[in-house]
A and B are shown apart, each in its own frame.
Chain A
Amino acid sequence: MPKPVIEVEKLAKSFGDNAVLKDITEQVNPGQVIVVIGPSGGGKSTFLRCLNLLETPTSGKVAFEGHDLTTMDTKSVNSLREKMGMVFQGFNLFPNMTVLENIKLAPMKVKHADDASATKQAHELLQRVGLDDHADAFPDSLSGGQAQRVAIARALAMNPEVMLFDEPTSALDPEMVGEVLNVMQELAKDGMTMVVVTHEMGFAKSVGDRIWFMADGYIQENSTPEKFFANPETDRAKDFLSKILM
């Protein structure tokens, strides 16, 4: 049994009186692709954001490679975040920088990479997501699909060990969803550990190793895609699937 990359223990998160995450204990093993699905408002995004401490958990433990993030000082959290790339629903590219500069910024400022090697790496990553010809474009001239692929390349530039995807295709026009999912599928094939919050059931079925079905602040089911989609255990999951598979 390999050592888990991420361990979550009794994680809870409330915003005021609103308990969004109630009691979550799960773990992610190296190379696994976890797909988190569930109804809106079930706490999926909050859960994902707790993994790299963009949200501070109210209680419980989040450990990365055995180190508990919730008890760490800010500096160590910063350096652990490097190892967890994150892709957002709204891309969040830096609009005042070119595509190339977006990718180079963190390696140069955080890892103090020199310009030449950062540029070389950025071009390689852009080739990987099929956008090297857009290196000098500014984000607002890109389509949504292109922007999200650049965002993936930007996250990969820090050589993360885990990639977190927060509904990466939800803001895209339907015809652009495919190009982003393809890039993610390639990443999975290359062995990247991934936690993906998505509504793309096709992706969940074909790429996911495990499905975490999340609702009402709990992970209600943790199973394989085959089992989950063919034979869900809980009523909550059955109800959810009946609604989306109509």
Chain B
Amino acid sequence: MKKKIGLLLAMLAALVMMVGVFGNPTSAQAADSSLAKIQKKGVLVMGTSPDYPPYEFQATVKGKSAVVGMDVKIGEKVAKDLGVKLKIKSMSFDSLLVALQTGKVDMIISGMNPTPARRKNVDFTHTYYKGGYEIVINKTDKGKYKNKDSFGGGTLGAQTGTTQYNAAKKQTKNTKVKGMTSQSDLILALQSHKLDGVAMEKPSAEAYVSNNKQLAAIPSNFSMSSSATSSAIAFRKGSTSLVNKVNQTVDQIKKENLVKKDYLPAAGKYLKTNTVNTSMGHYWKAFLTGIEYTLIITVCSVFFGFIIGVLLALARLGKGNFLKSLLRWIATAYVEFIRGTPMMVQVMFVYFGLGLFVNLPALTSGIIAISLNSGAYVAEYIRGGINSVDIGQTEAARSLGMSNGETMRFVVLPQALKNIWPSLGNEFITLIKDSSIVSIIGVTELIYQSNIVRSDTYRGVAPIVVIMVLYFILTFTASRILNYFERKMQHA
């Protein structure tokens, strides 16, 4: 089972829902119209986290990257039975519940277990698939381990915050349990003998074993309740009419055993074609897309961040009447707040929080969040830069009849900029790297793409090396360009 919602996200969700009291006051009324609304819209947006083969994963279909897997098949069937089109939105598993609650997606099909805790916040359909747990081990250890009880003195791995992680902790003795966020990292740790076994869901275990000849799977023998081992489709709370309708589809899938007969083998096919060629060169298009989005985010954020930074710096330096004092106070508060909260939370807040009022695409949200964040830091550099320019420069300009604004623009700012250029350059290079944070809301920049490639190829290290090199090329080129301008500014 996949990650439970993290504490951070839970708090954000709570905040978003508090805002939601004002944004969406009529969720009770929406109950009866939920089905009609979707049918009227004609599109059903499915949220999923495509890093979890064979449930859902990224594969190359006819030369294009697409989300495939058994959950996608189920989504297609649900949409077809409702008579609407299916649209798939990818994001991290952690973000799915918030996305559902804030209307970014209409439903979640992502191997999600209908646990009592989740039931408090969303409505689930009947379960469409019941899995189980296995433990993946190195094939060389095959005789050594039988089930969860054979790892005494050793180390088991599992995805952090998942049911199998809790089960491994509670239901084993003398065994260390190590949590990691990504399954491909766990497999990598297993193969480098940092772990002796990895507990995971049966279909995932089978997918790994069938695609990696050095691995084997053994039964886990965890004792589990059925809500912890089965998957269901999640809808917004109060969507009774919609859930009832979709339950007919789910019941049919179960009755005809479509998952085992049809959907899993179809997903397996993509897995097979996928692992034929796992060289990094084969994925050059994925990495190119990553570079493209990383650059788009960075360039836009540098541009807007700089403008925001200049405005904030000027506001913070304002003195005099009430309006200027108020602006200064607001700017100071803004800078302190932004610097005092993690960028990751800001990105999520812009995407999900503002999403209640305006439907912003993930890329736009990411650019807005990073620009706002960078602006706060740039503002401080610029303020320092302006203060570093001798007051005599201002006096000379004013004595020549230049206005306050002209003095700032033609005399002070150019000198301030020259003084802070190295710091600004640092900020820009940091932005190239920090842009990776928007991967959590599903923007296909370098980190996101590398995660896709990793779960696609079951290769843990190679994609990391590739993006490390790519990031370095980007930052090194950027720093060369910045140095060129620095030299140009320092003539004498």
Contacts and interface: CB of A to CB of B under 8 A. Distances in A.
Interface of A: 52, 54, 74-75, 78-79, 81-82, 84-86, 88, 90, 92-96, 105-106, 109-110, 138, 140-141, 151, 154-155, 158, 164
A90 B392 contact: yes
Contact of A82 (B392, B400, B410, B415): B400
Nearest to B491: A138
A contacts with B: majority SS: mixed
B395 A140 contact: no
12 contacts: A54-B399, A78-B402, A79-B401, A81-B398, A86-B396, A88-B392, A92-B393, A94-B415, A105-B400, A110-B401, A110-B402, A155-B400
B320 to A, nearest CB: 11
Given A90-B392, A92-B393, A109-B410, A52 B415 contact: no
A195 B442 CA distance: 69
Contacts of B37: none
A138 B492 contact: yes
A75 B401 CA distance: 9
A79 B402 CA distance: 8
B145 to A, nearest CB: 71
Contacts of B398: 54, 78, 81
Given A110-B406, A138-B491, A140-B492, A92 B400 contact: no
A79 B400 CA distance: 9
B401 A81 contact: yes
A90 B401 CA distance: 19
B414 A96 contact: yes
A81 B410 contact: no
B492 A81 contact: no
Nearest to B401: A82
B411 interface: yes
B387 interface: no
A86 B418 CA distance: 26
Contact of B401 (A54, A92, A158): A158
Nearest to B417: A96
A75 B403 CA distance: 7
Contacts of B81: none
Nearest to A95: B415
B390 interface: yes
Q: A82, A88, A96, A140 — which one has the most chain B CB atoms within 10 A of its CB?
A: A96
Contact of B399 (A84, A93, A96, A141): A84
